[in-house]
Amino acid sequence: MLEEHLGYVVDSIRLDAFRAAISRFVRPGDRVVDLGCGSGILGLMCLQAGASRVFAIDSTAMIEVARETLTRAGLADRTTFIRGHSNRVELPEPVDLVICDQVGHFGFDYGIVQTLQDARRRFLGPEGRVVPRTIQLHVGAGQLRKAIGELLQRGVLGQSGQVDLPQQLLAERMTAQELRTGAERRSQQR
């Protein structure tokens, strides 16, 4: 879990995009809710941009990482840390901005649409704003080579056929026979 969040923190393109949105939408004195706050980096940037209070919500142990991040930055006194799912917690007051980085790698990985709909309805004040406002997913055609056979052989490809495909597995083309052979090997290993 920590490794995943570290990847977000070192992703300069992603952080720069959020930094630009924060500088555009955070106004001095704003109250902000950071949904699925993870390391706390977005809440930190909101406070640095002038927010008066951040409600950092996370259902995992990452809430403690966020607490440490904001404590070390000297901003924990302006942050309320809440461990729980955002759809199950209550805030003491409406907020001016909802921010969420639960877009994953494809924009819809972590139920962001439902999460933001709920947060907009329950947390946001009348003039409130949401970041991100939109998500664009760009898709390009490609070829999987050898990957499916390796996934079958390694037991990564499940019965449903769904899998996260690591990029290093992209290689040469496979025939249907090679796919069947890989599946047979996998079932024999069980």
Angle (nearest 5°) at CA 8 between 120 and 125: 15
Give the pLDDT band (50/70/90) at residue 151: low
Task: State the pLDDT at residue 171.
Answer: 34
Taking residue 2's Cβ as centre, other Cβ atoms within 10 Å add up to 11
Q: Is the pLDDT of residue 173 over 50?
A: no
Give the pLDDT band (50/70/90) at residue 169: very low
Task: State the pLDDT at residue 175.
Answer: 41
Q: Is the pLDDT of residue 178 over 70?
A: no
Q: Is the pLDDT of residue 187 over 50?
A: no
Task: State the pLDDT at residue 15.
Answer: 86
Task: State the pLDDT at residue 5.
Answer: 47
CB 56 within 8 A of CB 34: yes
Domains of the chain with bracketed CATH: 2-131 (3.40.50.150), 147-189 (no CATH)
Judged by average pLDDT, the poorest of 9-13, 59-63, 113-117 is 9-13
Beta bridge partner(s), residue 34: 56, 99
Higher pLDDT, 6 or 93: 93
Beta bridge partner(s), residue 124: 95
Q: Is the pLDDT of residue 166 over 90?
A: no
Q: Name the nearest CA neighbour of 5 among 48, 68, 54, 97.
A: 68
Distance between CA atoms of 80 and 89, rounded to whole angstroms?
Answer: 12
Helix (H/G/I), strand (E/B), else coil: 132: coil
Task: State the pLDDT at residue 176.
Answer: 42
What CA–CA distances, in Å, run from 143 to 6, 150, 157, 170? 30, 15, 17, 8
Higher pLDDT, 116 or 12: 116
Task: State the pLDDT at residue 133.
Answer: 78
* Segment 131-142, tens digit of pLDDT: 987 766 666 555
What does the longest C-alpha to C-alpha distance in the chain come to? 64
What are the φ and ψ backbone dihedral angles of 152, each rounded to 5 degrees? -65, -45
